[in-house]
Structure 1
Amino acid sequence: MRKSRTVVVVGASRGLGLALAEEYCARNWHVIATSRGRSAGLDQLRERYPTSLEIETVDIADGASIRALARRLETVSLDALFVNAGICKANTLTPLEVDDKDFLDMMSTNALGPMRIVEALYDRVPERGVIAVMSSELGSIAHCTGFWELYSSSKAALNMLMKAFSARHADASRSLLLIAPGWVRTEMGGEDAALETGESIPLVVDVVEQSAGVPGLRFVNRHGEILPW
Structure 2
Amino acid sequence: MTGLTGRQPVALIVGASRGLGWGLAREYLRGGWQVIATVRDPHAQTPLHALQNEAGGRLRIEAVDINAPAEVDALAARLADVRLDLLYVNAGIANDPDEKVGDVSTQTFQQVMLTNALSPLRVVERFADRVVDDGRIAVMSSELGSVADNVDGGWEVYRASKAALNSLMRSVVARRAGDTRTWYVIAPGWVRTAMGTDAAPLDIDTSIAGVVRAIDARRGTRGLVFVNYRNEILPW
TM-score by length of 1: 0.96
**Deviation by residue 1:192-221 (Cα, 9 ceiling, x = unmatched):** 111011111011012222333221001001
> Taking structure 1 as reference, are residues 39 and 159 closer, same or farther at Cα in structure 2, changes over 3 Å only?
farther
> Taking structure 1 as reference, are residues 73 and 47 closer, same or farther at Cα in structure 2, changes over 3 Å only?
same
Q: Which position in structure 2 is the counterpart of 1:28? A: 32
**Pair 1:181-2:188 in alignment:** yes
Q: Equivalent of 2:202, from 180, 195, 211?
A: 195
Q: Equivalent of 1:168, from 175, 184, 196?
A: 175
Q: What is the deviation of 1:91?
A: 2.2
**Deviation by residue 1:164-186 (Cα, 9 ceiling, x = unmatched):** 00111111111000000100010
What secondary structure does 2:102 align onto? coil
Q: Which position in structure 2 is the counterpart of 1:91? A: 97
Specify the code of the residue in structure 2 equivalent to 1:104: Q
Equivalent positions of 1:134-149 (< 5 A) are 134-144=140-150, 145-149=152-156
What secondary structure does 1:150 align onto? helix
Specify the code of the residue in structure 2 equivalent to 1:77: R
**Pair 1:7-2:14 in alignment:** no
Equivalent positions of 1:31-180 (< 5 A) are 31-37=35-41, 38-144=44-150, 145-180=152-187
What secondary structure does 2:224 align onto? strand
Is the Cα contact below 8 Å between 1:204 and 1:222 reproduced in 2?
Answer: yes
**Pair 1:224-2:228 in alignment:** no
Specify the code of the residue in structure 2 equivalent to 1:163: R
Distance 2:127 2:110 in 1: 24
TM-score by length of 2: 0.94
Gaps of 5+ in 2: 1-5
Distance 2:111 2:166 in 1: 17
Q: Which position in structure 2 is the counterpart of 1:16? A: 20
What secondary structure does 1:177 align onto? strand
What secondary structure does 2:133 align onto? coil
**Pair 1:205-2:212 in alignment:** yes
Q: What is the deviation of 1:96?
A: 1.8
- Identity across the alignment (%): 48
**Pair 1:214-2:236 in alignment:** no
Q: What is the deviation of 1:21?
A: 0.6
Distance 1:176 1:125 in 2: 11
What secondary structure does 1:8 align onto? strand
Q: What is the deviation of 1:50?
A: 3.8
Gaps of 5+ in 1: none
Q: What is the deviation of 1:10?
A: 0.4
Specify the code of the residue in structure 2 equivalent to 1:130: R
Specify the code of the residue in structure 2 equivalent to 1:28: G
